[in-house]
Chains A and B, each alone.
Chain A
Amino acid sequence: QVQLVESGGGVVQPGRSLRLSCAASGFSFSNYDMHWVRQAPGKGLESVALISYDGNNKYYADSVKGRFTIFRDNSNNTLYLQMNSLRAEDTAVFHCARQSMISFGRVMDYWGQGTLVTVSS
């Protein structure tokens, strides 16, 4: 079955960096576009970044552009999010999600449980 397992979250000081990982299994990872979506405590969902199946195309939310980098290792079925210059407002649970092939829209059919990032001094 499809599994997405995030890791790498934790407590980090403002201005520092953190790298999140998402280990994928149960499907052909290299065939799918992948997303990072975050959810601040008690808040709604916010798309953060999207990467095409081959890693050649990347999209970012304005709120993270220039600070976050999405990339992937298809040989190891892993998605990453490099987060630099972290701010308090980046505090959230970060989910990775698979973009579905059943739609041409940005539909996410499988999600991980998420990893919590807390930015605090």
Chain B
Amino acid sequence: EDQVTQSPEALRLQEGESSSLNCSYTVSGLRGLFWYRQDPGKGPEFLFTLYSAGEEKEKERLKATLTKKESFLHITAPKPEDSATYLCAVQATGGFKTIFGAGTRLFVKA
């Protein structure tokens, strides 16, 4: 069964303290892996799509990487405005379903 697991559930950082969020996935065949950011009371906001192992994408303080079994979202020198829930999702080949993990809640303290 296709599955996505994110860790940790919650992460508390000081401003400027870099860290990584993990997304482990099990799919029969990967069509794409997505990272989203979700603020309280809002819908998820698209960040990145990764398609194949070894691929990397960057945007401001965020960098996403992909292997055959997991993806990492690296946050460099985070700021309080980076506080949000970060969601990982996968689409498997041969289907139309997008499977989300439960998310990592990130808190960045000034």
Is chain B found bound to chain A in the same assembly? Answer: no
State the B residues within 8 Å of A (CB).
none
State the A residues within 8 Å of B (CB).
none
